[in-house]
């Protein structure tokens, strides 16, 4: 996974470098642009796509509307195949997750990330182990010990979709600790958070953006973050905790790291001028205070 992400970052960098040699706006869209989200509504990808849509509209960064379209079927395969089949169409872009890599491997769909054209890498997203705030568990060790004792009949891990990041992390926890969960898939991270608040599952590994509102409201509790270092945000989210106060899972005895790509791609066969146009648009997005506030307050991601 890390090798694939490194190759992808290199490809995106090449796309960005080409911008310096092409005149600004050598091409512009002349009709509504479809912004495909290969995931359900309410999750991290959906929220980021709609934030990008709002910033572009607010700052008049495109001459045509940008319309978000969710295509979550087949663990995101529906969205990826749609963009792959739109060869040469510059009026369609897609926001990607790590299921860009995992969906083809898990489902066997005829798709490879190299079938699309890289445009911009926006962030590497964190994953956090969450439990209901009313539960007695304050550390990953306490929770995992309880799962080992109670087994999958008592402990459920809610996640977005099947054979995607959430289930991969769940399997990694099981492999590392011997604990066994019942994995319960939902269509989006927003639904996962709601199910955990309602005690319909006992834990989740949602992205920060997918559970921050419930954490701020005292309904969910973060146990650890699946990264090599703590989140570098010190502003308080609750009365007594910031993102930086959440320990890494590794320092808590759960030696698992996982980061998720958030990036923008286009269909195959588009021109360099068309790629450069969107590179420019997303560079301008990232320079806005709206985007900086979003990254700092609403979520916790490593910027690219």
**Which pLDDT score, from 0 to 100, does residue 109 have?**
85
Query: Which is it for strands 128-132 and 220-225: parallel, antiparallel or unpaired?
Result: antiparallel
- The whole-number average pLDDT for the span 105-128 is 88
Alpha helix locations (H) across the chain?
Answer: 2-17, 44-58, 77-85, 99-107, 140-150, 165-177, 189-197, 208-216, 272-287, 289-293
Question: Domains of the chain (ranges plus CATH)?
Answer: 2-125+260-303 (3.40.190.150), 128-245 (3.40.190.10)
**Which pLDDT score, from 0 to 100, does residue 75 have?**
78
Q: CA-to-CA distance for 270 and 287, rounded, in angstroms?
A: 26
State percent of the chain over pLDDT 90. Answer: 67
Cβ burial of 143 (10 Å; 0-12, 13-18, 19+) is buried
Task: Write down the residue that tokens 């529906």 correspond to.
Answer: 78
pLDDT in tens, 238-278: 999 999 999 999 998 999 999 888 899 999 999 999 999 99
Main-chain dihedrals φ then ψ at residue 52, nearest 5 degrees: -60, -45
- The whole-number average pLDDT for the span 195-220 is 95
Top pLDDT among 162 and 284 is at 284
pLDDT in tens, 32-85: 999 999 988 888 889 899 999 999 999 999 999 999 999 988 878 899 999 999
Lowest mean pLDDT among 116-120, 150-154, 300-304: 300-304
């Amino acid at each position: 996974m890390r090798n694939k992400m490194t190759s992808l970052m290199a490809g995106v960098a090449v796309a960005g470098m080409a911008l310096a040699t092409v005149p600004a706006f050598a091409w512009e869209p002349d009709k509504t642009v479809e912004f495909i989200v290969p995931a359900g509504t309410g999750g991290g990808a959906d929220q980021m796509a709609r934030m990008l849509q709002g910033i572009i509209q607010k700052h008049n960064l495109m001459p045509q509307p940008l319309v978000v379209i969710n295509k979550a079927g087949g663990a995101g395969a529906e969205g990826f195949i749609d963009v792959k089949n739109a060869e040469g169409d510059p009026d369609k872009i897609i926001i990607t997750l790590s299921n860009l890599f995992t969906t083809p491997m898990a489902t066997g769909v005829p798709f490879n990330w190299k079938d699309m054209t890289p445009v911009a890498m926006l962030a590497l997203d964190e994953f956090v182990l969450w439990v209901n705030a009313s539960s007695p568990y304050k550390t990953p060790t306490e929770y995992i010990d309880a799962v080992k004792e109670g087994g999958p009949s008592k402990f459920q891990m809610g996640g977005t979709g099947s054979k995607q990041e959430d289930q991969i992390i769940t399997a990694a926890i099981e492999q590392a600790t011997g604990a066994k969960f019942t994995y319960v898939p939902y269509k989006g991270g927003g639904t996962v958070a709601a199910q955990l608040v309602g005690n319909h599952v006992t834990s989740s590994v949602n992205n920060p953006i997918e559970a921050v509102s419930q954490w701020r409201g005292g309904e969910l509790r973060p146990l650890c973050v699946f990264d090599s270092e703590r989140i570098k945000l010190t502003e308080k989210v609750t009365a007594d905790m910031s993102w930086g106060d959440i320990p890494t899972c590794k320092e808590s005895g759960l030696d698992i790291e996982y980061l998720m790509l958030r990036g923008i791609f286009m269909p195959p066969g588009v021109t360099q001028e068309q790629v450069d146009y969107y590179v420019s648009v997303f560079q301008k997005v990232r320079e806005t205070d709206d985007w900086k506030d979003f990254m700092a307050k609403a979520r916790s991601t490593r910027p690219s």
